[in-house]
Structure 1
Amino acid sequence: MARFPFSAIVGQDEMKQALLIAAVDPSVGGVMVFGDRGTGKSTAARALAGLLPPIMAAQGCPYGASKEDQARYPDICGSGKMVKRPVPFVDMPLGATEDRVIGSLDLERALRSGEKAFEPGLLAKAHRGFLYIDEINLLEDHLVDLLLDVAASGENVVEREGLSVRHPAKFVLIGSGNPEEGELRPQLLDRFGLSVEVRTPKDIEVRIEIMRLVAANEADPQAFAERWAGEDEKTLKKIARGKARLPKLEPGEDVLRDAANLCLAVGADGLRGELTLMRAARALAALEGAKTVTRKHLIVIAPSALRHRLRRDVLDETGSTARITRAIDELFG
């Protein structure tokens, strides 16, 4: 089935912005999307992955090894010539076993030739791409622990059944879920750089436009894709320019102070809030073609970077987003 064009997604601006920021700077740490069912969460993630230009990877390598990977892991796809391949997008099902996620002994090869060989899992396939987990708040605890380890180290280590394998596993983690169906473990939620709230649009005109767009795509996917190809190409160029600008952008002392003051004011846990806030503001500035990172960029991205890092205040029932907005008003006017 053809992907839905990224540019044709309407009514979910904050989610699209967060995904674009993650595409420009993967070090932001992934995107968690909370919200109602049927609001385009997985559609947007797949659309962005399908929009991105191909990557150069070692031919026939199950890990999608880059030149850097070949130098760091010389025994993994070290001799393969570099070829173009699509940006990986791996959909991890809730019922996935641990073996399927991290990889296991290739039983067929072992039975056929008696040779112990590693069969890569979903983490290997997602390297240099996106790992998408729908209803991540329902994921089993032992899989959550695995993801935490790999997200922190950037590599997957498998020691089992006489195998000892270490391979790169760096990916943009995108999770989605409905908070009404269960809370996400704080340790995993903290690993996400940005947290986005997606709601069913209340505007009648937006809802009608969505129906029109979906109907047009279903009637003739190829014609619909061609109709939006120009806009998607503009988005792709915007991402490419953003990546090129990113190394040249460094936030000034005043913006760093603003970020620290804001995190203190809202009571964000730990220091990851400041770091993510600055990375995301920098990526946003690069996307917009700005010459410097300013307070404006900080304010725009603050809800997404901080709403999932606030301590719960029993004396204040105000929602996280409202608390951040109030702190911004009090600090910056």
Structure 2
Amino acid sequence: MRQPYPFSAIVGQDEMKLAFLIAAVDPSIGGILAFGDRGTGKSTAVRALAALLPKIKAVEGCPYNCEPSSTAGLCRACGDEGGKKPKATLKPAPVVDLPLGATEDRVVGALNLERALAHGEKSFQPGLLAQANRGFLYIDECNLLEDHLVDLLLDVAASGINVVEREGLSVRHPARFVLIGSGNPEEGELRPQLLDRFGLAVEVRTPQDVPSRIEVVKRRDAYDRDPDAFLEQWAPAEKKLCARIVAARAHLASVATPDAIVESATRLCLKLGSDGLRGELTLIRAARALASLDKKHEIHEQQLKRIAPMALSHRLRRNPLDETGSSARVQRAVEEVLG
């Protein structure tokens, strides 16, 4: 199996790439929604991100990727160590695909039938949510996901815990992940409840200038003809970007959030009439992650202005008297509030 297309080699799509980098620096901002035209590199970017992410420390043999140094939020097996320090190992950050046709058992986990039939034991077979813990859960065409799976994801995303009560099993395990969704709006809209769970949303469009389209074709053709040579060519850029993510993660906690920035974020959300306070929280967290990527010691209005469209455009109420797109409405409010 060949390695994914390099993240650094993706032409254009700056907003989408920035949103993914922000989520890699601070997963607490919530998920990323990339909605737009077919064939614009949405799935390619997700798989490229998987290869770019730094490895994580996890308890060796744990199917839930529990963090060895953590004292809370562990699975039952890791929590029953009785103070004994578990053996740690480095493993790639999980990026798990959730197919549209997946059954509920496949997603949440179920009874291990093989062990039940062969040994008469009740054993839990972890599902996709277990595999995605401390990583990313990717849903392509998420607007076509069945309603019962949407409800299930909403429950788990809110609590960070997957609870399975079925077939005589009673299992609770950590399931904290960054939800990444992609889709084409022409094939149907996303349920508002799930839409609100995405921290950032970006519109992905087909490049309309000739040089960009030519460069996309040339790079993709070079990758398909000789993947090893193409990956070697882009390895230095990938290594540099990975180091930037690691440095931004380490610097994140020291980035200050001035009261004036919080006030500006609040005024902006009030101007747009966004429901709840999730807009302000996401805006501040994403701006802090961007400031950390930019090696700043505090958040500036520059970061707020850059982040506002992707943090707030999907949270706006529809205005029948305003036919402009949501991103344009956010940009207009940014100019009025922030200047």
Q: Is the shorter-chain TM-score for this pair beyond 0.5, marking a shared fold?
A: yes
Give the CA deviation at 1:202.
0.3
Please, what is the CA RMSD of the aligned residues?
1.2
Contact 1:70 1:76 in 2 (8 A): no
Corresponding residue number in structure 1 for 2:43:
42
**Residue equivalent to 1:266:** 272
Aligned mate of 2:304, from 285, 298, 304: 298
Does structure 2 conserve the Cα–Cα contact (< 8 Å) formed by 1:69 and 1:168? no
123-132 or 69-78, which moves further after superposition? 69-78
SS in 2 for 1:193: strand
SS at the partner of 1:317? coil
Given that 2:68 and 2:87 are in contact with CA atoms closer than 8 Å, whether structure 1 keeps it comes out as no
Report if the CA contact (8 A) 1:70-1:77 is conserved: no
Paired position in structure 2 for 1:237: 243
Change in CA separation of 1:112 and 1:308 when aligned onto 2, cut-off 3 Å: same
> 1:181 aligned to 2:187?
yes
Query: Tell me, what secondary structure is at the counterpart of 2:274?
Result: coil
Shift of 1:53: 1.8
State whether residues 89 and 129 of structure 1, in contact with CA within 8 Å, keep that contact through their aligned partners in structure 2. yes
User: In terms of mean alpha carbon deviation, does 107-116 or 60-69 score higher?
Assistant: 60-69
Aligned to 1:127: 133
* In 1: Cα distance, 2:74 partner to 2:55 partner: 22
Amino acid at match of 1:53: P
Q: Which residue pairs with 1:287 in the alignment?
A: 293
> Quick one: distance in 1 between partners of 2:211 and 2:57?
42
| Residue 193, structure 1, aligned to residue 194, structure 2 | no
5+ residue gaps, structure 2, are none
Task: After TM superposition, give the deviation of residue 68 of structure 1 in Å.
Answer: 4.6
Alpha-carbon distance, 1:266 to partner = 1.4
Counterpart position of 1:64: 65
Q: How far is the alpha carbon of 1:93 from its aligned partner?
A: 0.3
Deviation at 1:250, TM superposition (A): 2.4
Q: Deviations over 1:11-55 (max 9, x none)?
A: 110000000000000000010000111111011111111111211
Counting matched residue pairs gives 333
**Inter-partner Cα distance in structure 2 for 1:127 and 1:86:** 12
Partner Cα distance (2:306, 2:268) in 1: 13
Q: Between 245-254 and 9-18, report the one with greater CA deviation.
A: 245-254
The answer to whether 1:163 aligns with 2:164 is: no
Alpha-carbon contact 2:76-2:173 (below 8 Å) kept: no
- The Cα shift of 1:270 comes to 1.3
Task: Report the CA distance between 1:238 and its aligned residue.
Answer: 0.9
Stretch of structure 1 that moved more, 301-310 or 262-271: 262-271
Rounded Cα–Cα distance in structure 1 between residues aligned with 2:66 and 2:195: 28
Distance 1:180 1:169 in 2: 31
Q: 1:70: how far off?
A: 6.6
TM-score by length of 2: 0.96
- Tell me the secondary structure at the aligned position of residue 90 of structure 1: strand
C-alpha distance in 2 between matches for 1:69 and 1:146: 26
Q: Are 1:111 and 2:108 matched, yes or no?
A: no
Give the residue type in structure 2 aligned to 1:208: I
Which letter does structure 2 place at the counterpart of 1:3?
P
After superposition, the Cα gap between the structure-2 partners of 1:248 and 1:127, relative to the gap in structure 1 and judged at 3 Å, is same
Once residues 73 and 291 of structure 2 are traced to their aligned partners in structure 1, the CA distance between those partners, rounded to angstroms, is 32
Q: Deviations over 1:248-282 (max 9, x none)?
A: 11211111111111111112121110110000000
Residue type of the partner of 1:189?
Answer: L
Partners of 2:144 and 2:181 in 1: how far apart?
11
Which position in structure 2 is the counterpart of 1:12? 13
Tell me which amino acid in the other structure corresponds to 1:76: A
Residues in 2 aligned to 1:53 and 1:293: alpha-carbon distance in whole angstroms: 25
The alignment status of 1:210 with 2:216, answered yes or no, reads yes
Tell me, in whole angstroms, the C-alpha distance in 2 between the residues paired with 1:23 and 1:330.
31
Instruction: Please list the CA deviations of residues 168-214 of structure 1 after superposition, one character each: whole Å capped at 9, or x if unmatched.
Output: 11111100011111111101100100001000000110000001100
Q: Deviations over 1:139-194 (max 9, x none)?
A: 01110011001111111010000000000111111000111111111011001000
- SS of alignment partner, residue 89 of structure 2: strand
CA distance in 2, matches of 1:199, 1:47: 19
Question: d(CA) in 2 for partners of 1:69 and 1:178?
Answer: 39
SS of the equivalent of 1:285 reads helix
Which letter does structure 2 place at the counterpart of 1:110? Answer: A
Rounded Cα–Cα distance in structure 2 between residues aligned with 1:267 and 1:149:
26
Q: Cα offset for 1:331?
A: 2.0
Shift of 1:75: 2.9
| Residues 33 and 74 (structure 1), Cα distance of their counterparts in 2 relative to 1, 3 Å cut | closer
Q: Is the Cα–Cα contact under 8 Å of residues 272 and 316 in structure 2 kept in the other structure?
A: yes
- SS in structure 1 of the partner of residue 102 of structure 2: coil
Identity %: 64
Give the TM-score taking structure 1 as reference length: 0.97
**For the residues of structure 2 that align with 1:329 and 1:59, how far apart are their CA atoms?**
51
